C-alpha cells in the first residue's frame, strides 16, 4: 500500500491541481469532500485543506473538526484552508481592501522554516481570495509575506500545522512545487514511490481480482485514454477483453477506418460497429448542448447493450474515463465543486443494462495517462494524439446536427489537422479542432455575393486539460489554413480563430 495524502475538498476548482502536483512528486493523493471526511486517518500520512469559493465569514462556511487533524498528522491549509485554520484558532479574517487575485511576490521569507526552505525571496506566487488573515492566532508564527498580504504563510508553533494564503499548486507559483515537496518529503517524510511502473503492476493485479474470470467489453475510441485502458485490461485478462469501436457518425474524416487499421498490431479483439445513421436520427432537431450530450450518451449505451448480448459471458463495461471527465461532470467524488458539463462516459449505466463498470484510469490526469502508456510500450504516435471529445463533432456543431453539417465540418477539421502536421505544429498543441457556428455571413466569391457559414478554429496548450491557453500560431499558418478551407469547403466563406483561455472559457464550445 502506498502512503497517501488526504486532500479535503472545500469546493475549489484548483483542488484537482493540488492532487496533480503531488503526483508529480511520485506521491499518491486522494481527494475527499470535506463533508465526507473519513472516520479513520490510519490510511493517511498527511492532510491538506483546499481552497474554497466560500468565506469563513459567511453564514454557513464549510467546516470540519480540526481537533481530529491538528497534532495527529502534518496539516497544510491552502487559501480558504489557511483562513479556516487561523479563524478557528482565534485569529482574525477580514475582507481584503482589494480583491487579491493574480501574481504577487514573496517579499519576506523565514528561511529557517521547514516549509519555506529553498524558496527564493521575491519568487512569484498566485493569489486568489477576497478575504485576508489580518491577525494570526497567538500560537502562530508568520513565515512569509507579500507586499499586500502580511500573513502569506504561517506555522503553528510546536506543531506540524501550516497555512499558506497563496496557491502552490498552480503554474504561476514558481516555487510552489518546492513548498509542497517540503511539506510532504521533509516534514511528513513520504516515500516517493508512486510511479508509472508501480501503477501498472498494481492496477493489473487489481483488475485481475476485480474481474476474475469474467469477460469485459471496452468502448474503444482510438484516443489515448481508451487505448491505455485497453492495453492495461488486456495485460490483466487477455482475450476475455472484447473491444468495440463505434462509429457514431460524428467522427473525424475517415476516422472509423483509420482507427480499426491502427489496432491491427495490438493483439486485441476489436470489432467495428457502424451506428452513424442511428445516432444522427436520434439527434435530429436537438440543438441544446446538454441534450445533445445526453442523447449521444444514451444511444452509445444502447449500442453497447446490444453488443454486450453477443458476448455470452460479458459482465463488465470498461471505459477510458479520466479525472477531468469526472471533475467537470460532477463534483469530484460527490463533493461541493460546481458542475460544468456532463460527459457521456461518466455517471454509471441505466438499470436495464446488466453490465458493471470498470474504469482503470478514473483517477488519472491526461499527462499521467500518457506516462502510463509509455511504460506499457504504446507508440508515441498514439500517445501524442490530441484529445477528442466523446460526443465528437456533435458538440463542435453549434445548434442542430445534420449529415450535411457533419460532412462540412469533417472537411474543415481535416484541413486544419493536416495543416498542423505539415507545418510541424501538431505536437506543440494539446488539442485542436474546428467549430461550425450557427452564423452565416455575407461574402464575395468569384464576383458573386455569398451568404454562407462561419467556422471557428480552436487550438490550446495545456498539460492536464484543467487549464489551457490558446496557441499563438504564426499568422502565415492561419492565413494558409483559412484560404484552403474557404477555397475547398463548399458552404464556408468565413474563418475565425478562438483566442480564449480556460478559464474562463472551456476548450470545447459546447
Digit-by-digit pLDDT tens for the chain (510 residues) are 678 999 999 988 788 889 989 999 999 998 888 998 999 999 999 999 999 989 999 888 999 999 999 989 999 999 999 999 999 999 999 987 766 677 899 999 998 999 999 999 999 998 887 889 999 999 999 999 999 899 999 999 999 999 999 999 987 899 999 999 999 999 999 999 889 998 999 999 999 999 999 999 998 888 899 999 999 999 999 999 999 999 999 999 999 998 898 888 888 999 999 999 999 999 999 999 999 999 998 998 888 788 888 888 888 989 888 876 665 554 434 555 544 444 444 445 566 667 788 999 987 888 889 999 999 999 888 898 998 888 999 999 999 999 999 999 999 999 999 999 999 999 999 999 999 999 988 887 665 677 889 999 999 998 767 778 999 999 999 999 999 999 999 999 999 999 999 888 889 998
What is the structure's pLDDT at 97?
74
Among 2, 54, 167, 344, the one annotated catalytic: 167
What is the structure's pLDDT at 297?
87
Q: Compute and round to an integer the Cα radius of gyration of the chain.
A: 25
- C-alpha distances in Å from residue 20, one per residue of 31, 169, 359, 375, 463: 11, 8, 19, 19, 10
User: Within 10 A of 388 (CB to CB), how many other CB atoms are there?
Assistant: 20
Among 2, 100, 129, 169, the one annotated catalytic: 169
What is the structure's pLDDT at 456?
97
What is the structure's pLDDT at 59?
87
- Asked if 167 is an active-site residue, the reply is yes
User: What is the CA angle 92-95-100, rounded to 5?
Assistant: 115
Where is 16: in which H helix or E strand? helix 15-24
User: Within 10 A of 338 (CB to CB), how many other CB atoms are there?
Assistant: 10
Residues whose CB falls within 8 Å of the CB of residue 265, separated by 6 or more in sequence, listed in order: none
- Asked if 79 is an active-site residue, the reply is yes
Residues whose CB falls within 8 Å of the CB of residue 88, separated by 6 or more in sequence, listed in order: 66
- Asked if 169 is an active-site residue, the reply is yes
- C-alpha distances in Å from residue 3, one per residue of 42, 190, 367: 10, 7, 22
Among 2, 79, 234, 255, the one annotated catalytic: 79
What is the structure's pLDDT at 109?
96
What is the structure's pLDDT at 339?
44
C-alpha to C-alpha distance for 80 and 50, rounded to whole angstroms: 7
- C-alpha distances in Å from residue 416, one per residue of 145, 164, 451, 474, 484: 48, 44, 22, 14, 9
Residue 28: name the closest of 233, 224, 199, 208 by CA.
199
What is the structure's pLDDT at 353?
66
Instruction: Tell me whether strands 4-9 and 44-49 are parallel, antiparallel or unpaired.
Output: parallel
What is the structure's pLDDT at 145?
95
What are the residues facing 495 on neighbouring strands?
455
Amino acid at each position: 500500500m502506498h502512503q497517501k495524502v488526504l486532500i479535503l475538498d472545500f469546493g475549489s476548482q484548483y483542488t484537482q491541481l493540488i492532487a496533480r502536483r503531488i503526483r508529480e512528486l511520485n506521491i499518491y493523493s486522494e481527494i475527499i469532500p470535506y463533508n465526507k471526511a473519513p472516520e479513520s486517518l490510519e490510511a493517511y500520512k498527511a492532510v491538506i485543506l483546499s481552497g474554497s469559493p466560500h468565506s469563513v465569514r459567511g453564514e454557513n462556511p464549510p467546516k470540519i473538526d480540526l481537533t481530529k487533524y491538528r497534532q495527529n498528522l502534518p496539516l497544510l491549509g491552502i487559501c480558504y484552508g489557511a483562513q479556516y485554520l487561523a479563524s478557528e484558532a482565534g485569529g482574525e479574517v477580514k475582507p481584503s481592501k482589494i480583491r487579491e487575485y493574480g501574481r504577487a511576490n514573496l517579499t519576506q521569507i523565514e528561511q529557517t522554516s521547514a516549509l519555506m526552505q529553498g524558496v527564493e525571496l521575491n519568487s512569484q506566487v498566485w493569489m486568489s481570495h477576497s478575504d485576508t488573515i489580518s491577525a494570526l492566532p497567538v500560537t502562530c508564527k508568520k513565515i512569509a509575506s507579500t507586499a499586500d498580504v502580511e500573513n502569506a504563510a504561517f506555522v503553528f508553533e510546536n506543531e506540524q500545522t501550516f497555512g499558506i494564503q497563496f496557491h502552490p499548486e498552480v503554474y504561476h507559483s514558481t516555487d510552489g512545487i518546492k513548498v509542497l515537496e517540503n511539506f510532504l518529503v521533509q516534514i511528513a517524510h513520504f516515500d516517493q514511490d508512486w510511479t508509472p511502473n508501480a501503477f501498472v503492476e498494481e492496477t493489473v493485479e487489481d483488475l485481475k481480482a476485480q474481474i476474475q474470470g469474467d469477460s469485459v467489453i471496452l468502448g474503444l475510441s482510438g484516443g489515448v485514454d481508451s487505448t491505455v485502458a485497453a492495453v492495461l485490461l488486456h495485460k490483466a485478462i487477455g482475450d476475455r477483453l472484447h473491444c468495440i469501436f463505434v462509429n457514431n457518425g460524428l467522427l473525424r474524416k475517415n476516422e472509423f477506418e483509420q482507427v480499426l487499421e491502427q489496432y491491427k498490431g495490438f493483439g486485441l479483439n476489436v470489432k467495428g460497429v457502424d451506428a452513424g445513421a442511428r445516432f444522427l436520427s436520434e439527434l435530429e432537431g436537438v440543438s441544446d448542448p446538454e441534450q445533445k450530450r445526453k442523447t449521444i450518451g444514451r444511444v452509445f449505451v444502447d449500442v453497447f447493450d446490444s453488443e454486450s448480448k453477443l458476448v455470452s459471458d460479458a459482465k463488465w463495461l470498461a471505459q477510458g474515463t479520466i479525472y477531468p471527465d469526472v471533475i467537470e461532470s460532477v463534483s469530484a467524488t460527490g463533493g461541493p465543486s460546481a458542475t460544468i458539463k456532463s460527459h457521456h462516459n461518466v455517471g454509471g449505466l441505466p438499470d436495464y443494462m446488466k453490465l458493471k463498470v470498470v474504469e482503470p484510469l478514473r483517477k488519472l490526469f491526461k499527462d499521467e495517462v500518457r506516462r502510463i502508456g509509455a511504460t506499457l510500450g504504446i507508440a508515441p504516435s498514439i500517445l501524442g494524439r490530441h484529445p477528442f471529445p466523446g460526443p465528437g463533432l456533435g458538440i463542435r456543431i453549434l445548434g442542430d446536427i445534420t449529415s450535411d453539417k457533419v460532412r462540412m465540418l469533417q472537411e474543415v477539421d481535416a484541413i486544419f489537422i493536416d495543416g498542423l502536421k505539415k507545418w510541424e505544429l501538431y505536437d506543440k498543441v494539446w488539442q485542436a479542432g474546428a467549430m461550425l457556428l450557427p452564423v452565416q455571413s455575407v461574402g464575395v466569391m468569384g464576383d458573386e455575393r455569398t451568404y454562407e457559414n462561419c467556422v471557428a478554429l480552436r487550438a490550446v496548450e495545456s498539460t492536464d486539460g484543467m487549464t489551457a491557453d490558446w496557441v499563438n500560431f504564426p499568422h502565415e499558418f492561419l492565413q494558409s489554413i483559412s484560404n484552403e478551407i474557404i477555397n475547398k469547403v463548399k458552404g464556408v466563406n468565413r474563418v475565425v480563430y478562438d483566442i480564449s483561455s480556460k478559464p474562463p472559457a472551456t476548450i470545447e464550445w459546447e
